[in-house]
Amino acid sequence: MIRLRIALAKGRLYQPSVERFTRAGAAPAGDAGRRLLIPSSDPAIEFLVVKPGDVPVYVESGAADLGVTGTDVLRESGADVLEPLELGFGACRLVVASPAAAPYPELPGGITARVATKYPRLAQSHFAIAGRPVDIIQVNGSVEVAPLLNLSHWIVDLVDTGNTLRANGLVERETILCCGAVLVANRASQKLKLDAYLGLMARLALGEPWSRA
């Protein structure tokens, strides 16, 4: 009988998530491919494979009991979920970046900066706290090219090594958030399925947490 349904994000966190659950004795049984629901080697656990931005939605609603997501996605979503465990992979940073020769943090003539990002909520909050008015432009891919095409003055994006920024003539200006993979849990499920929940926590609680510094 399925006791726990766990949402996994497609993309960069998927394979590390699979490896972590495999070490915990719940290996996904087969490749995701076109399948959204995947059984595991533990008959009490099944996986739901969805787009990264949907993981917090499924967990908050109770369609999934648990999920693996990045802190960037979680904070952007504003979902009301528990965060019981940092999983120790997927470390990266959400940063403000701009062309190396461009003025920062102010533009000449009192111009309001245009900021391109996939993270409008986090970007708007960051600049509001700093007391710097900006116009947020939401884009869904290739954020780094926005300043080159004069779509924006700056960008807010996720970086790992920073190589893509440098390749496009951009430099990091500020770090908004240090991110990593976290396990999230539905509040009601955590109470109703406490034994299964605690058992899985014990099996997953391995590895070093990513740094918030």
pLDDT for residue 192: 94
* Tokens representing residue 8 in the block: 């996994």
pLDDT for residue 213: 37
pLDDT digits (tens, 9 = 90+) for 30-64: 776 677 899 999 999 999 999 999 999 999 999 99
* Tokens representing residue 194 in the block: 């406490």
Segments making up each domain of the chain, as ranges: 4-90+180-204, 92-178
pLDDT for residue 110: 86
**8 A C-beta contact, residue 181 and residue 70:** yes
The yes-or-no answer to whether 4-90+180-204 and 92-178 have a common fold is yes
pTM attached to this predicted model: 0.90
pLDDT for residue 50: 96
Q: How far is CA 49 from the centre of its chain?
A: 15
Tell me how far CA of residue 109 lies from CA of 11, 112, 134, in angstroms. 42, 9, 14
Total residue count of the chain as it appears in this document = 213
pLDDT for residue 173: 97
Considering only CA atoms, give the Rg of the chain: 19
> What CATH architecture does domain 92-178 belong to?
3-Layer(aba) Sandwich (3.40)
Class of domain 4-90+180-204: alpha beta
The H or E element containing residue 198 is: helix 194-204
Residues of the chain with pLDDT under 70: 32-33, 206-213
